[in-house]
Amino acid sequence: MSNSWDNVLLPPGYAYGFSGGPDFETRIIPTDGSEFRLQMREDPIWSWSALRRNFGDDADVSSLIDFFLARRGPLYGFLFLDPRDFSTFENHTGEPTPLDQVIGFGDGVTTRFRLRKQYRDPGGMTARDFPRRVVPMLGTATEAVAKVLNVDTGADISPRVAVDGTTDTGATWLPLSQEVVLSSPPAIGAQVTWGGYFVTPARFDVAPGQGLEATISGFRADEAPFQVRSLPFTDPVPLVPGGSPYGHRLRASQSTNFELSGRDAFLHEVQATTAISGYLDDLDSYPTGGPHLLLVNTGGSATITVRDMFGSSVGTVSAGSRAWLFVKEDGAGNRTPLLLS
């Protein structure tokens, strides 16, 4: 049994000829004269197919077979470079900048921020915007990677992070946990942004007993059709009416500030050992109404202050108490969090 992925990249040359994209696995249930639509997961799954892939020589198809065997087929995942979406830049393939994506705001204490790429709704409905967790690429580009990214072989493709527009050259990147640790805590309200090239955790998508099929159709024209499916960062969960997933996030003996997101779980149980703050994520990712999450403070005496992304206090949850998060909107379309106990 495994839900892990290896820190190895599927050779990018195999990606040419791929087709595919995201899918939310929405179930359509017909009713009398209408239909009921049920979203089965909060985050989409990307899938790609190479239905006919002509390889240049025997070494190519052999290396694919070797890669498939090393992953034990679909058992262990790997990293996949999507040739149509590999950059934080707004067109998905352009050269990234450290100002591409907002990932948080300073509170004077926090240095660790989760990496994500925001997909904007061209129709203008911010509630339909989608933040996607990504794995950044580090180091220099190999020849195969350089061809996909359209950069020079050996070019530095490491990501960059900035605080209020100033690049933090001393930041530490944690690609496996999709995070960056800044060299010092940003000031309260300072905007933290990042940009870079990224890859997607994925696995081979084959039916039981099917495996990888390679065909030799002629001289230097081998074919090996296969499919790739992205791995979820979180397990599929049903949605509550407010739009947040069911789920439980436990933080035992919590002494530092933390991120508070209804996208991670609905129930957040925090044992605060000292006065700390929980920082909400972007409210535009939630529909109005709620509740979107339930925060329970199981600490002995310390109070948790709930703050928005800008560091402003939304409310407090004392030891032994709980509170629900709602989102309200005024006539001008401005959204504000509402904490009810």
Q: Of 230, 263, 296, which marks where a domain is finished?
A: 230
- Counting beta carbons within 10 angstroms of the beta carbon of residue 98, is it exposed (0 to 12), middle (13 to 18) or buried (19 or more)? buried
The number of beta carbons lying within 10 Å of the beta carbon of residue 113 is 21
Does residue 152 share a domain with residue 37?
A: yes
Residue 234: the pLDDT is 46
Does residue 36 share a domain with residue 129?
A: yes
Does residue 128 share a domain with residue 49?
A: yes
Does residue 261 share a domain with residue 179?
A: no
Does residue 218 share a domain with residue 257?
A: no
Amino acid at 11: P
Q: Is residue 240 part of a domain?
A: no
Does residue 94 share a domain with residue 187?
A: yes
How far is residue 225's CA from residue 212's CA, in Å, rounded to a whole number? 8
H-run or E-run covering 202: strand 198-204
Q: Is pTM, for the whole model, over 0.85?
A: no
Does residue 142 share a domain with residue 30?
A: yes
Domain total for the chain?
Answer: 2
Residue 333: the pLDDT is 75
Residue 215: the pLDDT is 61
Does residue 200 share a domain with residue 66?
A: yes
Domain containing 276: what range?
Answer: 248-340
How far is residue 264's CA from residue 283's CA, in Å, rounded to a whole number? 14
H-run or E-run covering 194: strand 191-195
Q: Is residue 295 part of a domain?
A: yes
Q: Is residue 235 part of a domain?
A: no
Q: Is residue 236 part of a domain?
A: no
Does residue 88 share a domain with residue 14?
A: yes
Amino acid at 43: D
Q: Kindly state the tokens that stand for 301.
A: 């005496």
pLDDT averaged per 10 residues, the chain (length 341)? 70 71 80 77 75 52 82 86 91 95 90 87 67 87 90 95 95 84 92 95 79 60 69 46 56 87 80 91 75 90 88 91 90 85 86
Residue 237: the pLDDT is 33
- In this structure, what are the phi and psi dihedrals at residue 271, rounded to the nearest 5 degrees? -95, 90
Q: Is residue 241 part of a domain?
A: no
Q: Is residue 238 part of a domain?
A: no
Does residue 165 share a domain with residue 47?
A: yes
What's the count of helices (H) and strands (E) in the chain, helices before strands?
Answer: 2, 30
Residue 239: the pLDDT is 35
Does residue 160 share a domain with residue 54?
A: yes
Q: Is residue 243 part of a domain?
A: no
The number of beta carbons lying within 10 Å of the beta carbon of residue 20 is 17
**What is the Cα 66 distance to its own chain's centre?**
29
Q: Is residue 242 part of a domain?
A: no
Does residue 334 share a domain with residue 224?
A: no
How far is residue 143's CA from residue 12's CA, in Å, rounded to a whole number? 10
